[in-house]
């Protein structure tokens, strides 16, 4: 049997409505769509060999909807998706949660990584951002003479 979600008479329905209302208020202050949702996304950050690797789960976006920037030592990742509002939806809506999404995360980068050589790939909903370590901070072996 598949798990189901009750749409009415749920003790959590009031909390969902409050959450949706607060998202709408914040979205209006930020200049977004009044039905929007703003949030974050999960990431893993690892040092692998001589690279810093950031993996972010961003399912449902296209690579054109993802913006990555590095400014003053801060890595910013943002994803934006807007629904198409060309024609009215048919049928009675019970839950509308997918109209607009703006997700954002920012990370301070250690000086050991070269922000000028950032590489990014997006595959199957996972964004991978790689920053190589600066040459001058890589460990090196010193020969004793």
What's residue 31's pLDDT?
Answer: 47
pLDDT surpasses 80 at 14: no
Domain-embedded: residue 3: no
How many percent of the chain have pLDDT more than 70?
66
Cα→Cα distances 73→20, 45, 70, 76, 108, Å: 34, 16, 6, 10, 6
Residue 19 lies in a domain: no
Residue 111 pLDDT more than 90? no
**Stronger pLDDT, 104 or 100, i.e. the higher one:** 104
Helix (H, G, I), strand (E, B) or coil at 116: helix
Mean pLDDT for all residues in the chain: 78
Q: Are 27 and 34 in contact (CB under 8 A)?
A: yes
Residue 12 has what pLDDT? 58
pLDDT of residue 37: 55
Domain annotation covers residue 115: yes
From the CA atom positions of the chain, what is the Rg in Å? Answer: 21
What is the H or E stretch that residue 25 is in?
helix 13-29
Domain around 108: 36-82+98-137
- Answering whether pTM is above 0.85, one says no
Question: DSSP character for 35?
Answer: T
What CATH number did the domain enclosing 106 receive?
2.60.40.790
Looking at the domain assignment, is residue 58 inside a domain?
A: yes
Is 55 a domain residue? yes
Number of folded domains that form the chain: 1
**Backbone dihedral region of 60: left (phi > 0), alpha (psi from -120 to 50 degrees) or beta?**
left
Looking at residue 55, its pLDDT comes to: 98
Stretch 28-48: mean pLDDT, rounded? 70
- Write the pLDDT tens digit of every residue in 16-33: 666 666 665 555 554 444
């Amino acid at each position: 049997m598949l798990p189901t979600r009750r749409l009415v008479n749920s003790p959590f329905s009031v909390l969902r409505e409050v959450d949706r209302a607060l998202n709408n208020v914040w979205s209006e202050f930020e200049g977004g769509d009044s039905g929007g949702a703003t949030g974050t996304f999960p990431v893993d950050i690892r040092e692998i060999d001589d690279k810093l690797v950031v993996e972010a789960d961003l399912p449902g976006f296209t690579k054109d909807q993802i913006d990555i920037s590095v400014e003053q030592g801060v890595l910013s990742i943002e994803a934006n998706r807007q629904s198409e509002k060309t024609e009215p939806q048919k049928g009675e809506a019970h839950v509308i949660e997918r109209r607009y999404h703006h997700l954002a995360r920012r990370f301070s980068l250690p000086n050991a990584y070269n922000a000028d050589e950032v590489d990014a790939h997006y595959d199957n909903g996972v964004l991978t951002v790689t920053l190589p370590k600066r040459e001058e901070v890589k460990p090196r072996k010193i020969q004793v003479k």
